[in-house]
C-alpha cells in the first residue's frame, strides 16, 4: 500500500492552510494538487464530494478521503493508519 497522501487545495483556502500546518507539524509527507491551477483536479473534488466543490479533500493511502477535516479528526485518521 502506498503511503502517499494527496491534498486537493487552493492557496486562498483557510482550512487548506490549517490542514497543511498540521501535516507539516507532524512531519507527514503529502502532495498538494492546486484546484485553481488544475481544472481536472477541481472536477475530481466535485466528483469525490458528490457535486460540491469543498476543499481541502485529503486522500489517504487506504483509498479513503476526508473533506474539510478538523485537526482532531485528521490526526486521529493519521494515527489509525499508523502514519504517525
Answer yes or no: are the C-beta atoms of 12 and 39 closer than 8 Å. no
**Which residues in 26-57 are b (16+ Cβ under 10 Å) and which e?**
eeeebebbebeeeeebbebbeeebeeeeebbb
pLDDT in tens, 20-66: 999 999 999 999 999 999 999 999 999 999 999 999 999 999 999 99
Q: Is the pTM of this model over 0.85?
A: yes
Strand-pair partners of 55: none
Annotated domain spans of the chain: 6-80
3-state SS assignment for residue 18: helix
Superfamily of domain 6-80: Glutaredoxin (3.40.30.10)
Amino acid at each position: 500500500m502506498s503511503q502517499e497522501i494527496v491534498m486537493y487545495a487552493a492557496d486562498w483556502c483557510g482550512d487548506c492552510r490549517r490542514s497543511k500546518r498540521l501535516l507539516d507539524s507532524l512531519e507527514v509527507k503529502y502532495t498538494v494538487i492546486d484546484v485553481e491551477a488544475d481544472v481536472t483536479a477541481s472536477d475530481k473534488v466535485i466528483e469525490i464530494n458528490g457535486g460540491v466543490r469543498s476543499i481541502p479533500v485529503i486522500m489517504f493511502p487506504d483509498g479513503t478521503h476526508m473533506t474539510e477535516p478538523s485537526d482532531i479528526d485528521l490526526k486521529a485518521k493519521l494515527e489509525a493508519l499508523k502514519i504517525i
